Amino acid sequence: MQNNQIESYVILGGGTAGWISAAVLAQALKNSKVNITLIESPNVATVGVGEATIPSIVDLLEYLRIPQKDFILKTNATFKLGIKFVDWLEKGQHYWHQFGYIGNNIDGLPFYQHWARHISQGGQFGLTDFSPAVALAKQNKFFIPDPKRPNNLSGSTYALHFDAGLVAEYLKEYCLKKHNLEVVYDHLVDTELDIQGQIKTLHLQSGKHISADFFIDCSGQRALLINKALRVGYQNWQHYLPANKAIAVQTDISNPLPPYTEATAHEHGWRWRIPLQNRTGNGYVYCDDFCSDNHAEALLIDHATKHNCVINQSKLISFTTGKRDKMWFKNCLAVGLSSGFLEPLESTSIYLIMRAMLNFVQSLPDKMPHPATIKEFNRRMDIEYQCIRDFIVLHYCRTQRTDSAFWRMWQTLAIPDSLQQKLALFEAQGRLMHNPQDLFAQDSWYAVLEGMGVRAKSLDPRVYQSNFTMVEKAFADSANALVQVASKTLDHAEYIQRLKL
């Protein structure tokens, strides 16, 4: 059998997408002689506002063999236990999307079924009152579960908030120290294709020409390879998610330091607040059909400065929600903004970069094209995007707000058929079918469904076989114990300070 392995990769673009791609690819091929070159343009600034993550970031650090403590201290990171959603269902209401579990299965049925029965009988406990992560977050506490010493908080998991610019620099240093990777600081001016329509050579501003077997497009929304050179189309999803702009600004440090992201619904969209060790990230995501850029900036500054001082110039970002028709086409893979964009409501941007690269290294090609491999990769990534899209739409589509044209629009806006089916199934008897390719587990869906006022008309008949009195006692004991145990853990800020010792 002929050895036809790829000998050279070129990654076009630095930033978070480029350096995560380089790190994952270099780690996967660390025992090979493959050449990896990253072209970073000195003329293009990165977007650099993606500061919040989900728990998969911890898995990425483990895959790359990066010490978590070192990463946290060098990227001004803080811990994240979930997201607090404010004013989404209606003004004055809030709910939590926790990381980790809510309760435990009882008598072979999901915890949600028993909690829904509790509520139907006049129970007073909220669904996320049984979340270890929320018990900690409400008290600005933090705790990493020890598998060898389980307790009431063992069901919590965590992610990180960090400075995206520092993360790119950290991963650049990691790649250059740990792996044999070349960096070229130059600007792409032209892309040459071969007779089969594959990318052959990149022509740079300096006059240099770089050829490779395979190319990874991390050039952002410009999509210089996958779109400009290869003309792969883009599926626009703004009819499902109309927000198309964001303004970001930084303020000084928050006190106390919350271990969660806050997402607050506003007149024309929503505002994020992300605490770091040295500052707070703020942003306003909105639809410019209803709001001018100047008005959006004024609203953001007004709210961001209620307790903090602005420390930089605001940055305007335009985007088109959607995904590339094919993220892998011929000898090119699109990663990051070149592959698609979903608004950062659930902090999934960095996850999608990581997932694309991990799926890719599990499907590494050789020099011969294998259509079945490419088709399967694209199928899996399509599902990732579609599931996340549906989960984000859920945060909007059942709102009861009618105080602005933006929110009134959501009363009649069409939603994807896949989400419509999921809602219909859930509202019938409170059931969610397990989808192993859905990033968000059932407890995540339960939390947002409840937060947005979506409840089942009936329940699984088996739930009525359980001893209701015993279940109610277990509920009271569990909720009270979570609060008590969480109160004895370290404050979030103190936990981070101890890492510095």
pLDDT greater than 80 at residue 48:
no
pLDDT band of residue 56 (cuts 50, 70, 90) is: very high
16 belongs to an annotated ligand binding site: yes
pLDDT greater than 60 at residue 210:
yes
Mean local confidence (pLDDT), 56-79:
97
80 belongs to an annotated ligand binding site: yes
Q: Active site includes 80? A: yes
Domains in the chain, start-ordered, CATH in brackets?
Answer: 8-77+162-236+325-387 (3.50.50.60)
pLDDT greater than 90 at residue 307:
no
Mean local confidence (pLDDT), 61-90:
97
337 belongs to an annotated ligand binding site: yes
pLDDT more than 90, % of the chain: 88
263 belongs to an annotated ligand binding site: no
pLDDT greater than 90 at residue 491:
yes
pLDDT greater than 70 at residue 376:
yes
pLDDT at 53: 96
Q: Report pLDDT digits (tens) over 94-141.
A: 999 999 999 999 999 999 999 999 999 999 999 999 999 999 999 999
Mean local confidence (pLDDT), 50-54:
86
pLDDT greater than 60 at residue 409:
yes
CB 331 within 8 A of CB 214: yes
Q: Which residue has the higher pLDDT, 348 or 2?
A: 348
pLDDT greater than 90 at residue 442:
yes
CB 191 within 8 A of CB 331: no
pLDDT greater than 60 at residue 47:
no
pLDDT at 2: 62
pLDDT greater than 60 at residue 332:
yes
d(CA 102, CA 96): 11
pLDDT at 437: 92
Q: How far is CA 138 from CA 256, 307, 485, in A?
A: 12, 19, 13
Mean local confidence (pLDDT), 229-239:
98
Tokens of 278: 């040295």
From 33, 69, 74, 80, active-site residue: 80
CB 271 within 8 A of CB 296: no
Find the length of the chain.
501
pLDDT at 123: 95
pLDDT band of residue 281 (cuts 50, 70, 90) is: very high
Looking at every residue in the chain, the average pLDDT score rounds to 95
pLDDT greater than 70 at residue 214:
yes
pLDDT band of residue 43 (cuts 50, 70, 90) is: confident
13 belongs to an annotated ligand binding site: no
pLDDT greater than 60 at residue 398:
yes
Q: Which of 147, 158, 131, 142 is nearest to 57 (CA)?
A: 158
pLDDT greater than 70 at residue 49:
no
pLDDT band of residue 330 (cuts 50, 70, 90) is: very high
Q: Strands, DSSP E only, in 221-279? A: 234-236, 245-251, 261-266, 269-275
d(CA 279, CA 286): 23
Cis check for the bond before 67: say yes or no (omega within 30 of 0).
Answer: no
350 belongs to an annotated ligand binding site: yes
pLDDT at 45: 65
pLDDT at 308: 79
Strand partners, 188: 204
Entry pTM: 0.96
